[in-house]
Amino acid sequence: MSHYKILIIGGGTAGITVAAQLKRKDKSLKIGLIEPSEKHYYQPAWTLVGAGTFNFDKTERKEADYIPKGVDWIKDYAEAINPEKNTVATRSSGDITYDYLIVAPGLVMNFDLLPGLKEAMQTDYVGSVYTDPKKVWKMLQNFKGGNAIFTQANTPIKCGGAPQKIMYLTEHFLRKQGVRDKSNVIFATPGTVIFGVKEFAETLTKIIKERNIHFKPFYAPIKIDGKKREITFKYIKPDPENLEALIDGKLNESLSGENEITIKYDLLHLAPPQQAPDFVRNSTLVYQEGPHKGWLEVDINTLQHMKYPNIFGLGDVVGLPTAKTGAAVRKQAPVVVNNILSLLKEQQLGSKIYEGYSSCPLVTGYGSMVLAEFKYNNVRDSDPMISTFVDTSKEQYSMWLLKKYGLPFMYWNLMLRGKA
């Protein structure tokens, strides 16, 4: 049976960043990393791929090129975690034991949680930059008018801004193609507001008004009929009054059941339902109740597991009251690294804490972006360096350049190398 001082589950953004930082700080550590995939993707660029302004092939690299030197790559699937015995069961490499475990396998899409989604995704009218951005670009090019609906599942999702970004880009693309006047652009979301942080919400509200985008809050998708090209939402506002007054006949909306609204679509983009991988969800490590049910339970500041002190978690798999983004990982990784090294040397947690930082580069068109940065409790939290030069709550061309060129460079060359 293999044993590691530190075992990491997941070779995505979180797992690789933590492994690289640990090795930079202490080359002698015996670290194993469980990751079945041969490929590593820079997913933040997939929105741009979906809008035809980034090459998909440039988002894909070999996983082997990013496993830090001296870390054992266990090319296998984690199947179960037994925290009482400090073991992780794998599909074909047997049980692996650890002194410290870092859980960072990301999340998985589950189409089955939204009836009709799997079948609808097989049609030419439904797609997602989360799963196939190249198909979304084809859909945009083939769209000749009608209802373009953008929505998201009523589950936690990674990069909460992605359903909006592709919507802004599509709207801009339709103007460039001369079909905007034949199109309704609709943003239907289970959320209550366009964005949770006031300063950024003001900018985005202004944009959707100016660009005549139909904003539909409290719309939680419950089923899709791919044959009829219809999507049905449950209106989830508490005690809704006079739902009929909300129905917009011009958008082909209709009441279809108690608090249910059906809309016809000619293009439908959505963030699919998402959840933690089964081996995490079925373990004793997750929240059993509440808003983070089924997600890894860690202390929101130390990222240490609430019940098992030798387990830490970060990235999309953890249940935290902030957005699941790569930017969050960049601030979470040093906290996990600092805590584990302190425990190894001094038998106590380190001094670094995670304050919930996350950021959402909200692309609002070709050549413009709002950089929304925030921490716990939806408090704005701007990078001191960037905010000295630009107001990131307003649309900026410089932020577009950062998104398209700066952030991918930083990701591959700094973050995954443990330098940022």
Residues forming the active site: 159, 360
Alpha carbons 153 and 371: distance in angstroms, whole number: 23
Residues facing residue 233 across a β-bridge: 221, 261
Residues facing residue 225 across a β-bridge: 230
Q: How far is CA 383 from CA 174, 320, 322, 377, 399, in A?
A: 33, 21, 17, 17, 13
Q: How far is CA 380 from CA 10, 74, 392, 399, in A?
A: 30, 40, 11, 17
DSSP assignment of 324-385: B-HHHHHHHHHHHHHHHHHHHHHSS--S------EEEEEEEETTEEEEEEEEGGGEE---HH
| CA torsion through residues 169, 172, 178, 180, sign | positive
Provide φ and ψ at 151, rounded to 5°. Answer: -150, 180
What is the identity of the amino acid at 119? E
Q: For residue 206, what are its two tokens?
A: 């202004």
Alpha carbons 211 and 68: distance in angstroms, whole number: 46
Provide φ and ψ at 27, rounded to 5°. Answer: -65, -20
Q: CB-based burial of residue 6 (10 Å sphere; 0-12 exposed, 13-18 middle, 19+ buried)?
A: buried
Could you tell me which residues come within 8 angstroms of residue 289 by beta carbon, excluding any fewer than 6 positions away?
none
